[in-house]
Each structure stands twice: as C-alpha cells, then as structure tokens.
Structure 1
Amino acid sequence: MKIKLICDSLCDIPKEIQNKEYLEVVPLTIIFNDKEYKDGVDISKEEYYEVLKNSKEIPKTSQATYIQFSELFNKYIDEGYSIICINGSSKSSGTYQSAMLAKNDMGDKGNDIHMFDTMSLSLGSGQFVIKACDLIEEGLSPDEIIKELDSIRESVMLFFAPKTLDYLKKSGRVSVATAIIGNILNLVPVFSFPDGEAHLEEKIRGSKNLASKLIDMILERNNGNLEDKIVTIGYGDNFKDFEKLEKEVQKRIKAKKVLITRGGACICSHTGPDILAISCSN
C-alpha cells in the first residue's frame, strides 16, 4: 500500500525524519516586517533565529491554508496514495480545520485521507510523526496507524522552557506583570502542553540548573523509567545550553530512541530563539 504522510510545520521533527521520502511538511506562513515567509521554505531556522534576535517586532504566524492542503491531497490521491495527515493542535491554530475542510470537499476521494489532531505542538506533535514513520515502515495500514497514534496519546509529554519571558509577554501569552517579575527575579518558566494548550508547570531560579530540572520532571512523570519511550530533545539558537541538556540525557536517561531537533519558527515566534525542550512517548 502506498502511503503519503503529511504534517504541518507546527510539528518540530528531526532532520532524519523530515528527510523520509514518503513525508511532506506543509509550511505555515510567518509574517515579519510586512513580508511573508513560508516556514522552512523561504527562511531557514538559522536565518529566522537571526532575524528574531535583531528585531523589536514579534512575528505573526498564519495557519496553513485550505488551498495548500487541497492541492497536496488531490495530487497524491490521484497518484494512488492513501494519505495520513498529522497536524498541530486544533486549539492553537486553524491549520487542522484547513486540512479537514480540504478533505471534506474531496467527496469520495476524501475517504483515503486519514486525519489526526495531535492536540500538541512542536516536539509533542513531532512524537506522533516519528511514531507514524515507524508504523509505515512496519507495513501497517492507515487505519491501523491512526489507531496506534490514538493509543499513545496519553503517553506523549512535552516540557519546554524559554530563556526569557519577553517574547511571551509581547505575544500576549503571559501578562506584563508576570513577565516583569519573572525577569527581575531571574525565573525561567517551564511549560507542559496537556490537552492542546500551554500550562505553566514550574518557575526555576536561573538557567544554570534548567537542563537537570527538565530531566527530573520527565523522569518523575514516568516513574523514573524511559526505557520503552522515544525521547526527543530540542533547542533553538542556544547550542551551549543544549549541550548541557544533551549531556544530562546521556548520563541519566536510557530510552528506546533519543532524537534531536530544533524549535521551528512557529514555536519560537512566541518563545524567542533560545529555548530548551524535552518530549517523550511510547
């Protein structure tokens, strides 16, 4: 069976996953200084970090469109593929709705399109894409793959920590008062992403122990055992911070698989370019 896996750029995935021949990433649009960029197409992650650091303006993101999905769906269905479409949280973006509208407008051809709302973002959404790739390569059918993705939903965990609250303040994700107090006290917030929305888990004094704390948190939520999990760790434009996280992972975590990715433009538009994250799933 020919399967085409489609995801959107709200899903941050490692390069080795993105390079799979059967995978296509639909980019969201980044609006910056009155210019529009297709995420990962017109601007790379490295270019985006640089622009973000040197501008006072906070970029806006625009959902992937009905037309983008319609064109891809029609193309691959006409080529004889069954499609699995995995999207970032429908609570955070209209991208899932765009894809669903495109599927529903295809009549009987839409029966070969299998939709999946991750109810997560970034590395969390990426966990479902990684799992889908494994299942495709095992030879499972689209219906079986969707069932398996549903079965791991409860196991998907994501913790992420932006180095500063400034970007979250400017984007309206935290109050001005919270951001000012946090920065004055040198507090680093750690967020999780249950049920499709960000949730503040902890505030850590300073970034020195952040990597260790992220490991503590994910181990605590998994009874100290990640041996049967796929773990992804991520960062943005802060490689030195990431090196500490990577060393902690190597020292303290035994997992089925450990993968590395970098935060994309969609997540970094709200968090800033300096971010650490860790995620896991069955």
Structure 2
Amino acid sequence: MVEKIRFITDTACDIPLDVAENYGIDVAPLTVAVDGVIYKESYEITPQKFYQLCRECKELPVSSGVNAQEYLERYEKALRDGCTNVCVVCINSGGSMCYASANRAREEFYEEHPDARQKMEIEILDSRTYSIAYGIPVLRAAEMHRRGVALADIRAFFQDWFDRVEIYFAPLTFDFVKRSGRVSGITCLAGQALGLRPIIDIIEGKTHAAAVVRGDRNVPGAIVKIAQERAVKGTPYGILVGTVTGLAEDLSAKLQKAIGDGLAGIFSAGPAITINGGPDLLAMCFLGGKRQTGTAG
C-alpha cells in the first residue's frame, strides 16, 4: 500500500506558516497572552509584532501549549484526506503540554472513529528539543516523503536527529530568561552590570552554561567556536534570531567560513520561544555526535 503521510507539528517549531504549507505540513497553534489579550501564535500575531508588544507590555507575556481539540481536528482532516499515517512532532514534552495533548487527542479520535484504527496510524514523537531544532527535521521529513522515502526510514531519520541535535542561544536582555529560570538571577545581574552575555546550551531539553562573553558583538564568534568544536561537518544547521538581525547575518557569514555550507535558514523566534529567551536573542542548532538516548553531553 502506498503511504500517504500527514506531518503535524506546533507553531513553537518557528517554521513560517507559508513554508510549512508549501511542504504540506499542518501546524497547530500555541497561544500567547499579552496583558490579557490572547493570540494564536503565528496565525494571529507575527514574531515582529510580538517583539514590539514585549517592549510595551505591562506584564511579561505567558504562553500555553496546543490544546487537544486542535490536534483532534487535524487528525479528522487527515482521515478525510485519505492519509494512511499521521506523524506528529512535538516540542519537548518537559517544557510544554503539546505532547500530552496530542496523545489525549489520539485516544479521543480512535474512540470517536473506531474504524480508523485500521485505516490511519497516528504516531506522536517527543522531539526532546525546541524551536527550529525540531522544525528543520520536520521540513526535511516532508521532503523525504515527497521523494518516496518510506516511513520506516523517516522514523530512523527523526531518531538520529533528536539523538544528536544541540541548541546554543544567547539572551542579550535578561527579564525573560530570569523569569524562565534558564539563567540564574546572579548571572542576570552580572550581565546587566558588566555587559556579560551567557551562551546557554539546550541538549535533551536540559540547559547548561556553555560560555560567557563580554558584549553583544562577541556572541557570534563564541557560538562559531562552539560549532567548530562540536558540530559534525557536512550536516545541516540553522540560525534563530529575534530583533538582532545584524548579529544573525554576522553569525551566518562566520559559520560558512568556519564549518561550510549547510545553513537551513535564518528563522525568526516566535512568541513561545521569545517568552523564555527575550526578543533580543541569537541562537543556532546543529548536529553533534551521537548520544545515548535520554542523556546530554
């Protein structure tokens, strides 16, 4: 039987909706609340508009994961479209309710459509990571499906990617990361007083301080140094940025010289990520060496 796969992810993957649509990827929205006004991420508010609101808001915004109804509607649409398989890729389950909601929706779907058990398999993957670190492989998986690659091989691709992907991000302001707990209060105070910029790694959903530099302009070089030491040559990498687009362009140029081609794109950080890192952030993801599943390093 010919496989017809529907890929579903969530808006925290930071892949633009028009790009996802071009690849046939269905994207379920997280929500973000700003001074009591609730928006569906990407659908009702752009990253750039959110950055502006971050400067103006009276209270720091909050986000909520995708609810089960959003997933249920997408499963039902996939069934109507004749899909044989649904592959859901979620933001790290330790940091969001999306994975739990997708599983709850699957249970409800098969209760309401018992005959669908024999027609359409729903597989839900916990990416164990954030942002473009799972958005990029979803795009690549959709490409693979278009080329006729079997689902079993796509599963293996996802497993390998999530066992190897690493994120490094630098918050250039501290209100957001202080509240999220990803940077200690002492580090935030030092950063504000001395111009120090921490570079934080996220591996297997856990954060650690990877480096500290003085001043914004030194951040790209520090990230490049880490990539030279840890990224596997010849594999793809991506850049994520908020308002500091000039630093992202500098990082891109430096990476091309240091580790070569392989840039999957420069992406704008959406609200769900910005809430934890602040609008003035710079990050990249790349593939490192193979880890034991569930371990960082």
Q: Deviations over 1:212-234 (max 9, x none)?
A: 11111011013xx522x111112
* Matched residue SS, 1:208: helix
Aligned length: 279
Aligned equivalents of 2:87 and 2:158: distance in 1?
11
Query: Could you tell me which residue of structure 2 aligns to residue 85 of structure 1?
Result: 88
Aligned equivalents of 2:264 and 2:153: distance in 1?
25
Aligned equivalents of 2:139 and 2:164: distance in 1?
14
For residues 213-224 of structure 1, what are the structure 2 equivalents within 5 Å?
Answer: 213-222=222-231
Aligned equivalents of 2:23 and 2:282: distance in 1?
29
Query: Could you tell me which residue of structure 2 aligns to residue 168 of structure 1?
Result: 177
* Matched residue SS, 2:22: coil
* Identity level (%): 27
Query: Could you tell me which residue of structure 2 aligns to residue 267 of structure 1?
Result: 273
Query: Could you tell me which residue of structure 2 aligns to residue 98 of structure 1?
Result: 101
For residues 183-262 of structure 1, what are the structure 2 equivalents within 5 Å?
Answer: 183-222=192-231, 226-227=233-234, 229-262=235-268
For residues 1-282 of structure 1, what are the structure 2 equivalents within 5 Å?
Answer: 1-13=3-15, 17-81=19-83, 82-107=85-110, 108=114, 109=116, 112-222=121-231, 226-227=233-234, 229-281=235-287
How far did 1:280 drift? Answer: 1.7
* Matched residue SS, 2:70: helix
How far did 1:113 drift? Answer: 1.1
Q: Deviations over 1:105-153 (max 9, x none)?
A: 2225355112111100012122321331232122123343122211222
How far did 1:173 drift? Answer: 3.8
Aligned equivalents of 1:237 and 1:74: distance in 2?
38
Query: Could you tell me which residue of structure 1 aligns to residue 295 of structure 2?
Result: none
Aligned equivalents of 1:19 and 1:231: distance in 2?
22
Pairwise CA RMSD: 2.0
Aligned equivalents of 1:190 and 1:21: distance in 2?
33
Contact between 2:99 and 2:126, CA under 8 Å: does it hold in 1? Answer: yes
Contact between 2:228 and 2:258, CA under 8 Å: does it hold in 1? Answer: no
Contact between 1:3 and 1:84, CA under 8 Å: does it hold in 2? Answer: yes
Range that drifts further, 127-136 or 38-47: 127-136
How far did 1:257 drift? Answer: 4.6
Contact between 1:77 and 1:112, CA under 8 Å: does it hold in 2? Answer: no
Contact between 2:47 and 2:271, CA under 8 Å: does it hold in 1? Answer: yes
Contact between 2:17 and 2:42, CA under 8 Å: does it hold in 1? Answer: no
Aligned equivalents of 2:105 and 2:48: distance in 1?
32
Structure 1 residues 257 and 181 mapped into 2: Cα distance closer, same or farther (>3 Å)? closer
What are the ranges of 5 or more consecutive residues in structure 2 without an aligned counterpart?
289-297
Aligned equivalents of 2:37 and 2:149: distance in 1?
42
Contact between 1:11 and 1:123, CA under 8 Å: does it hold in 2? Answer: yes
Q: Deviations over 1:46-89 (max 9, x none)?
A: 11111112224211001100111011111212221121111100
Aligned equivalents of 1:89 and 1:269: distance in 2?
16
Aligned equivalents of 1:196 and 1:52: distance in 2?
25
* Residue identity opposite 1:242 in structure 2: A
* Residue identity opposite 2:125 in structure 1: F
How far did 1:172 drift? Answer: 4.2
Aligned equivalents of 1:64 and 1:154: distance in 2?
24
User: When the two structures are superposed, what TM-score results if normalisation uses the length of structure 2?
Assistant: 0.87
Contact between 2:31 and 2:40, CA under 8 Å: does it hold in 1? Answer: yes
Q: Deviations over 1:30-53 (max 9, x none)?
A: 011111000001111111111112
Q: Deviations over 1:207-257 (max 9, x none)?
A: 2211111111011013xx522x11111211111222211221232231345
Contact between 2:41 and 2:271, CA under 8 Å: does it hold in 1? Answer: yes
* Residue identity opposite 1:40 in structure 2: S
How far did 1:15 drift? Answer: 6.7
Contact between 1:116 and 1:146, CA under 8 Å: does it hold in 2? Answer: no
